[in-house]
Chain A
Amino acid sequence: MTSVPVSNRAVSSRAGSARGGSARGGRRFGRASRKTVLNLLGLLVALFALFPVLWMISTAFKPATEIYSLTPHPIPLHPTLANFRAVFSGSVIGISYWTFLKNSLFITITAVVASSFIGLLAAIALGRFKFKFRTTYLIMLLIVQLLPQQALVVSLFIDFRKLNLLDSLVGLILVYTAFALPVTIWMMRNFAATVPRDLEEAAAIDGAGAWTRFWRILLPLVSPGLVATSVFAFIFAYNEFVFALTFLGTDTAKFTLPLYVEYFYGQNSTNWGAIMASSTLFTIPVLAFFLFTQRRLKSGLVAGAVKG
């Protein structure tokens, strides 16, 4: 879990503050209590950040009597799995959680693979070639990624209606692939640019064709970047709501997880135990996935966002 490397700079600045403290004299105790205060503030921030998710999980394990008790307890006194059972068995809206998980994973994984591949090709062009319209293309990507999705959804709805892509998982895959692309390309191009050109040239001299060079040299070297960008694409596609809401209007069995959770909430707006259980089963996989990959993510997050 030690993902943030202590940079030399951080160390030296801390040493600097120690020096400054002793120069002013008698601040040793002050520094110790300052550290305590900072750590307490840190815990407070962590609590603020985690509280809603923890409360969701805790509610999901509570029996109804505890959910509506006059004094809410942070930890369930009599934990129960009844809420989860209701979600898995589909006793509340008739279809089990597994159906929606399957839909979500199918759509998300297909879209991530497609956008990663297409995005990588474009990233190679933008990261490794100088050509006219390169800057124009990059600006186009910046603008496109910021177009409001609920504005485009009207137009896409009408197109998809004509193409019979409503109530279809394929339609969502197409949309998610497209909307994941700008960010994927934008982030990946930095990774593609870092692959040393000499390596490729050496391989070309040794007679490796473009395809071989792509598979044997470029791909292994950009794969860390590929992981980072695909995590972002995954989170986007797995969490997406507006398009799913609009395109999967009537066919409940085709719902993705976010749509299912929202629908579930709409259908049983007082059964908070079951709602939180469904929400937990939707949220925990993506948070676990995020925790698992966050080490690689942070650099990508900063590189992709701050730098553009």
Chain B
Amino acid sequence: MVTSSHSRPGTPSPAGTTPPSTEPDERRKTTGRSASPTLDLSFKQRAGIWIRKHGLGPYLLLLPATAVIGALILWPAIQVGLFSFQNYGLMQISGVLPTQWVGFSNYSQILHDPEFWQSLKTSLYFALVVVPLTMIVGTLVGQLLARLGPKMRTFVSVSALLAWATPAVSASVIFVWLVDPDGGVVDWALAKLPSWLGGGAHWAGFSWTNATLPAYTVLTVMLVWTGFPFVAITVLAGLRTLPSELLEAARVDGAGAWRTFWKVTFPILRPVFLVLALLSTIWDFGVFTQAYIVTGNLGNRDEYNLGLYEYSQAFTQPPHYGLASAAAFVLTIILLIVTVGYVRAAVKQGSLA
């Protein structure tokens, strides 16, 4: 891993990416000069001088990370784009038939698949419900945390963060158990609830995971449960950056909590809220692990969201890697649009400094 001191073969590639301000011929000249044995320097020292002279230090330091990210994230992303234009399936992966370029046929096949539109709709509605809900619950809890005494605040925020840190697989299995028709505590509690609160005996034995709406209701509660602590802690941190004079002035002027929030807190913390909303959208739109477990391991096709739809194209028999790649590309594009908003918000916030 000692790349910095003596990686002569490695150096040309970052040098190639250096800006045109240092002309290539000039670079060659200086290389020759520093390599000439005017002083009695070791190879290591000379390499160090050469790296310093050309400002290659940061590029060398970035080399391993760039290689790993490039090979295992960027290249697969590009390859998904390529596969989406090929008829990559069982015959192709086993080498029986060669892969062929098929133009947009994968895309047109997907866009004519009602299941695709169904799953897209599910993803969309789900994000539209979960993201605002997570934001509201998280913001309310953040406001509550700001008003609690230090000990209580620590207790509540640590408890909340434990929910956030609970692995998705555990959370899913736990929630499936909570809503289990035989022995689950949720059905039991709902059956005990008075009827004016929507409770009643008809809840006993209610199955939550066999239809789309109940299953995604469970997923909604689970993802709000997982997501609100992050929002709450971030909002709390944001609230602490607010100048207390402002809040006090609002109070003196007789503004209630509701007005203070919308007239003072929200406008100042708007970038924070924007980033949180965009991040939640990205996380919730294609949510995989929780949806996979709650809707029953790809077994119920009508309960797919876009993530499950895409995955099932590749990993249920027979595999259609081309179709899956086209769906993955659509999913990625949708999320990239959100991501662009996120990056812009991050730039505005000055976090690239």
Contact = CB atoms under 8 A, between A and B. Distances in A.
Interface of A: 1-4, 6-7, 9-10, 12-13, 16-17, 20, 35, 38-39, 41-43, 45-46, 48-50, 52-53, 55-56, 59, 67-72, 117-119, 121-122, 124-126, 129, 131-135, 137-139, 141-144, 146-159, 161, 174-175, 177-179, 181-182, 185, 210-211, 235, 238-239, 241-242, 245-246, 258-259, 261-262, 265-266, 272, 275-276, 279, 282-283, 286-287, 290-291, 294, 298, 301-302, 305-308
B5 A210 contact: yes
Contact of A121 (B62, B149, B229): B62
Nearest to A137: B62
B148 interface: yes
A150 B311 contact: yes
Contacts of B130: none
Contacts of B252: 20
B1 to A, nearest CB: 7
B57 A2 contact: no
Contacts of A306: 234, 237-238, 272, 275, 349
A82 B160 CA distance: 30
B109 to A, nearest CB: 16
A131 B59 contact: yes
Contacts of B149: 35, 39
Contacts of A7: 240
Given A154-B321, A210-B48, A307-B349, A13 B247 contact: yes
A9 B242 CA distance: 9
Band of interface residues on B = 35 or more
Interface of B: 1, 4-5, 17-19, 48, 55, 57-59, 61-62, 64-66, 68-69, 71-77, 79-80, 83, 88, 93, 141, 144-163, 165-171, 173-178, 180, 182-183, 185, 188, 225, 229-230, 233-234, 237-238, 240, 244, 247-248, 251-252, 272, 275, 279, 282, 286, 288-289, 292-293, 297, 307, 310-311, 314-315, 321, 324-325, 328-329, 331-332, 335-336, 339, 342-343, 346-347, 349, 351-352
Contact of A282 (B152, B159, B169): B169
A17 B146 CA distance: 13
B342 A55 contact: no
23 contacts: A2-B150, A2-B151, A39-B148, A46-B160, A52-B178, A118-B65, A122-B66, A139-B343, A144-B73, A146-B339, A146-B342, A148-B335, A151-B77, A151-B80, A154-B311, A155-B325, A178-B73, A258-B168, A261-B170, A265-B173, A275-B173, A282-B169, A286-B165
A10 B145 CA distance: 11
Contacts, number: 317
B69 A305 contact: no
